[in-house]
């Protein structure tokens, strides 16, 4: 009998984060600082665990996602790998320049310094999928084949990242 693959997904009212950001566009355009009430939806594909008969425990998946969303909730999202945005983080303050022109100064406690090139919804979906995978791997999750992370930045406007797993 061939192996079957299943999908579990969670999209709950508490898988959200409200954060400020700005992104840069080609042609030297940089939008102003603004915020979104982001919503996360995650799906995990895989085989049924032979003992538990489930792909992955919903309760554990929700717990992990709540924590990952909480880590960036009510913070300014700043990209550390941008070619155009320079982030100088001290112990107390974070100075942000765009194209070498000073733009913002934030208290350090109000910032999430992220290993991304731009704080687009696409890269936020990839970042959260990568962080979720690290958590699942640390828990010893087996038989998983794909993580699909969708981040909605406003109603009807979202990006989805699909991460095939080894």
Q: Active-site residues: which are they?
A: 30, 74, 153
How far is the CA of 94 from the CAs of 44, 58, 83, 108, 118, in angstroms?
36, 37, 17, 5, 17
Q: Do 66 and 16 meet the contact criterion of CB atoms below 8 Å apart?
A: no
Q: Round to whole Å and give the CA distance between 16 and 11.
A: 9
Q: Do 68 and 104 meet the contact criterion of CB atoms below 8 Å apart?
A: no
Residues whose CB falls within 8 Å of the CB of residue 98, separated by 6 or more in sequence, listed in order: 24, 30, 84, 85, 86
């Amino acid at each position: 009998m061939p192996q079957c693959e299943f999908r579990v997904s969670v999209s709950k009212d508490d898988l959200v984060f409200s954060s400020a950001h700005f992104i840069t566009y080609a042609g030297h355009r940089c939008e102003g600082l603004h915020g979104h009430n982001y919503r996360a939806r995650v799906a995990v594909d895989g085989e049924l665990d032979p003992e538990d008969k489930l792909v992955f425990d919903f309760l554990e998946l929700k717990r992990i996602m709540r924590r990952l969303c909480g880590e960036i909730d009510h913070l300014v999202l700043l990209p550390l790998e941008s070619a155009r945005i320079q982030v100088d983080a001290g112990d107390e303050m974070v100075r942000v320049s765009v194209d070498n022109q000073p733009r913002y100064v934030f208290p350090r406690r109000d910032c999430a310094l992220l290993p991304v090139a731009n704080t687009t919804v696409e890269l936020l979906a990839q970042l959260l999928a990568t962080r979720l995978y690290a958590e699942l791997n640390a828990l010893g999750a087996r038989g998983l084949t794909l993580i699909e992370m969708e981040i909605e930045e406003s109603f009807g406007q979202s990006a989805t990242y699909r991460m095939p797993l080894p």
